[in-house]
Amino acid sequence: MIDFLIIGGGIAGISAAARLSELGSVTVLESESALAYHASGRSAALFERNYGKPATIALNAASYDFHKDADVLSPRGLMLLGSANDQAAFDADFAQMGLNRLTIDEAAAHFPILDRDVVTQVGYDDRAQDIDTDKLVQTFARTARANGANIVTKAAVTAITRHNNGWAVTTASETYDTTAIINAAGGWVDEIAVMAGITQLGFTPLRRSMARIPAPDGTDVSRWPMVFAAGETWYSKPDAGALIVSPADEDLVTPHDVYADDMVLAEGLARFEENVTMSVTRLLASWAGMRTFAPDRTLVLGPDARDPSFVWCAGQGGYGMQSSPAASQLLADTIAGRTPEIPAEAVAALSPARFS
């Protein structure tokens, strides 16, 4: 009998495996051939402490030391651009993220393609850092394996049955008996719940598209910041000598291996071009991922209100990588009956009990 059967091998599942493997036996079932294939493998990979709802910000703050000690952070910076047409959105983002104001000249020194005729105000946070997502995933995986966890890929769950001592979870090749299920299945978390006879919570998988474009005229963009438009109507970031640009789309999709929509990308790239002095003439690549949210856009961490042997680790949205150390620690603390490190109001805001 396995103590903790984790469904999903993205950042949510593999970080939970690392923490829970200190409490008992763990098996992780990942449907794909590798860990972190879907949303986790397509993250914009930025640590921005003040990004998200208040409970997410509490997780971000509590995760920083782990990220630092794991040596997965590197300098990046974050810039927010505003124009005369989006004053309210700029003010809201500026205040919520706790940014500092830059002059246009100062901003152009960081981001030389900024269009001075369009951009009228700029916010900046020099504390924002890149996350080495592969290293982070492998750090958690190594810890889990060192503690005896079994990580199984190509293991899509086909059936879940409740029995007196726990659960039987079936894949195409094997059935696993477990005391507790950890539902970390990303965009599929509600489908897993239904399979287990648990009331779904109303998660929405939303497509987020990305284009990779050449740097302007061979410019070295490696030290440019991540740049957001007010209201997050697009964002850009350096990527291995090129730029990635997202239209910041949130189109509802059924959970699957999503692909970018050409029209959505074109519209987002047009919004990017309106704020910069370069033109986008070709794409190097494009892709998409899923950002899955609970109805209140806050993570869901902890035992189901009706059946505590079914544990939610879900709704990471765009915050999974940066919040994973503290989110997984909260999950383990809750299961072990320990007092969590984050404030009680954040714990309550993250609990599945809020939906009961």
Q: Could you tell me the pLDDT band of residue 78, with boundaries at 50, 70 and 90?
A: very high
156 pLDDT above the threshold of 90? yes
230 pLDDT above the threshold of 90? yes
pLDDT given at position 37: 74
Q: Considering only CA atoms, give the Rg of the chain.
A: 21
Q: What's the pLDDT tens digit per position in 42-72?
A: 667 899 999 899 999 999 999 999 999 999 9
Angle at 50 between CA 44 and CA 51, to 5 degrees: 40
Give me the phi and psi of 344, to 5 degrees please.
-60, -35
pLDDT given at position 125: 97
Tell me how far apart the alpha carbons of residues 109 and 354 are, in angstroms, rounded to a whole number: 46
Q: What's the pLDDT tens digit per position in 117-130?
A: 999 999 999 999 99
Asked if 56 and 319 touch (Cβ cutoff 8 Å), the reply is: yes
285 pLDDT above the threshold of 70? yes
Asked if 273 and 229 touch (Cβ cutoff 8 Å), the reply is: no
pLDDT, the chain, mean: 95
Domains in the chain (CATH in brackets) are 2-54+132-202+295-355 (3.50.50.60), 78-126+204-293 (3.30.9.10)
Percentage above 90 pLDDT, the chain: 92
The first and second tokens of residue 100, run together, are 């500092």
Q: What's the pLDDT tens digit per position in 169-228?
A: 999 999 999 999 999 999 999 999 999 999 999 999 999 999 999 999 879 999 999 999
Q: How far is CA 328 from CA 91, 121, 176, 255, 300, in A?
A: 33, 38, 23, 23, 11
DSSP one-letter string for 85-120: T-HHHHHHHHHHTTPEEE-HHHHHHHSTTB-TTT--
3-state secondary structure of 303: strand
Asked if 180 and 3 touch (Cβ cutoff 8 Å), the reply is: yes
Closest to 296 measured CA to CA, from 344, 342, 251, 348:
348
Residue 284 burial (10 A CB sphere; 0-12, 13-18, 19+): middle
pLDDT given at position 39: 57
Percentage above 70 pLDDT, the chain: 98
Asked if 15 and 140 touch (Cβ cutoff 8 Å), the reply is: yes
pLDDT given at position 318: 87
Average pLDDT (81-86) is 94
36 pLDDT above the threshold of 90? no
Provide the residue type at 21 as one letter: S
The first and second tokens of residue 74, run together, are 């590197």
Q: Could you tell me the pLDDT band of residue 356, with boundaries at 50, 70 and 90?
A: confident
98 pLDDT above the threshold of 80? yes
Tell me how far apart the alpha carbons of residues 10 and 187 are, in angstroms, rounded to a whole number: 11
